[in-house]
Structure 1
Amino acid sequence: MSLRTLILCSSLLLTACATPSPSLAPAPSGYYRVQPGDTLYRIARQHKQSVASLARWNQLADSASIQAGQLLRVQPPAGAGKPSAGKPSASRPAESKPAPPPARLDIKLQWPADGALLAGFDGNRNKGLDIAGQAGDPVRAAAAGKVIYASKGIRAYGNLLIVKHNESTLTVYAHNQKLLVQEGQQVSAGQQIATMGDSGANRVKLHFELRLGTRVVDPAAYLPPR
């Protein structure tokens, strides 16, 4: 393994240790943790959004398919909405500035797994997306690239794959049950590279990260709606 890859994997270990279990962590800003008895309609009204928007942002094929404990995005992903051009009312404080647009990505990404979103990116406690599934479900390459890491050497990430797509772009796939590719192997977009598992985690899930240069960024800003 190259020194550069070893340094990258060491940094992953440091960030992984700070990521709590999604079932215990509070909902990050822009998200809502589903409570028993909640409906998507009620959540939409509570957060002043439409049911269609919540279904689209959370890749829900059926508006009745939410479950208690599930994490739902209740604010639009970065770049999905336009900031208001009006001036703030004199009777209320100015609203916070909108998030800056996401950095440019020179490749097209696709979802690496089909399950519901368990936890979203917040840049601090969670450096990526946690996607639900069953043990053995396929994990697919988000884009074509070269596998630069395939091992279970980073305990907090379990069986881990890292794919390099170009000089500045990496994707990370953690907690796999079985790795189906090896270091140095070229993979195509959508190719199955692992099976979903719970290695290094307290439940079956895929932890997916996107790294642009030295930055870890929100993958949801670059993934297509389902």
Structure 2
Amino acid sequence: MIRGVNRGRRLNGGIAAGTPVLLLAMVLAGCGARGLAPVVDRGYGPAPPGYYRVRPGDTLSEIAERKRIRMSRLAAWNELGPPYPLYAGDLLRVAPPPGGARNRPERRAAVSGTTAKKRRQGAGSTKAVARSAVKPGSAASASGLDWAWPVSGRVVQRYHASDRTRQGIRIAATTGAPVLAAADGTVAYSGSSGLAGYGNLIIVKHSPRYLSAYGFNRRVIAREGERVRRGQQLAEVGQSADGQPMLHFEIRRDGATVDPLLFLPATR
């Protein structure tokens, strides 16, 4: 569903893993005069000419602004679609690809080592969470954020780390009911996601590590770049692909999905 240099998990009915989180979960030191960005603290080397080495917390919009490249163009060069997933340590093309499709094998080879290692580590951590018992709100304090339920209603689908179609929770609600920001943050994406059956999408960046995503909206209200407070209305509840009124809700940490119930309070 989403292809490119930074290839996340391909989801059906969820958001591709990553951070615009991937989004989208957004904070950097400056680059050198030639645009090289070695990540010394993570052990990565400098990016080759025409590429940028993604750092933790980076978002596509911020990189585009720093490099003075239109975000849509940067996304096209890297074959990225909403919510523009990025992975720390991967390479992002910041110069026009000279060979189009011919250039893809070269890009895959350049990032395969760090990407494969990172995905193995990420898979292990998400499986460990899936095996453990879910204690509502148990991870909220460690996140440093004050989380709240985005909508009132019954959870009709739970999170499952190993199921690509269940990378968030789905909450039954009345069509048109207000969709609320789960925590303070800045709207990183607002509009039609372009993902089949996903509907209008809102992504909120809460910190360099955390973002939340709200899908199946009938109408979006909050605008990109808008600062929002916990409990502020972002959108209106819409319907899933099968016509059921509900909200699809995800929380991502460092670009990877986590069980929202670990962060949301036990009582609403």
Q: Same fold (TM over 0.5)?
A: yes
Q: State the match for 2:248 in structure 1.
A: 207
Distance 2:194 2:14 in 1: 14
- Could you tell me how far apart the structure 1 residues matched to 2:184 and 2:140 are? 21
Which runs of no fewer than 5 residues in structure 2 stay unpaired?
A: 16-131
* Inter-CA distance 179–201: structure 2 relative to 1 (3 Å threshold): farther
State the match for 2:134 in structure 1: 77
Which structure would you say has the larger RCO, counting Cα contacts within 8 Å and 6 or more residues apart?
A: 2
| Aligned position for 2:50 | none
Given the alignment, which residue of 184, 193, 197 partners 1:153? 193
Q: Does 2:101 align with 1:105?
A: no
Aligned to 1:118: 156
Displacement of 1:76 in angstroms is: 5.2
Map of 2:12 onto structure 1: 16
Identical amino acids, percent of aligned pairs = 32
Partner of 2:233: 192
Q: Distance in 2 between matches of 1:224 and 1:205?
A: 19
Letter in 2 for 1:195: E
> What is the distance in 2 between the residues matched to 1:201 and 1:160?
17
Which structure 1 segments of 5+ residues have no match?
1-5, 20-74, 82-100
Distance 1:18 1:223, change over 3 A: closer
CA, structure 1 residues 205+18, in 2 after alignment: closer, same or farther (shift >3 Å)?
Answer: closer
8 Å CA contact retained: 1:158, 1:201: no
1:115 is paired with a residue of what secondary structure? coil
Output the amino acid matched with 1:77: V
**TM-score of the aligned structures, taking structure 1 as reference length:** 0.57
Picking from 140, 158, 177, the partner of 1:137 is: 177
The answer to whether the 8 Å contact 1:178/1:196 transfers is yes
Cα deviation code 1:60-97 (max 9, x no counterpart): xxxxxxxxxxxxxxx9524789xxxxxxxxxxxxxxxx
CA RMSD, aligned part only? 2.9
Which position in structure 1 is the counterpart of 2:89?
A: none
Mapping of 1:160-179 within 5 angstroms?
A: 160-179=201-220
Q: After TM superposition, give the deviation of residue 15 of structure 1 in Å.
A: 1.4
Aligned equivalents of 1:188, 1:145: Cα separation in 2:
7
SS in 2 for 1:122: coil
TM-superposition CA deviations, 1:3-26 (whole Å, max 9, x none): xxx97xx858x313479xxxxxxx
Q: For the residues of structure 1 that align with 2:14 and 2:219, how far apart are their CA atoms?
A: 24
Choose between structure 1 and 2: higher helix proportion. 2
The CA distance in 2 between the partners of 1:150 and 1:77, in whole Å, is 30
CA distance 1:79–1:206, change in 2 (3 Å): closer
Report how many residues are paired.
144
8 A contact 1:78–1:102 mirrored in 2: no
Q: Check 1:11–1:152 CA distance in 2 against 1; reply closer, same or farther (3 A cut).
A: farther
Residue 222 of structure 1 is matched in structure 2 by 263
What code does the residue aligned with 2:174 have?
Answer: Q
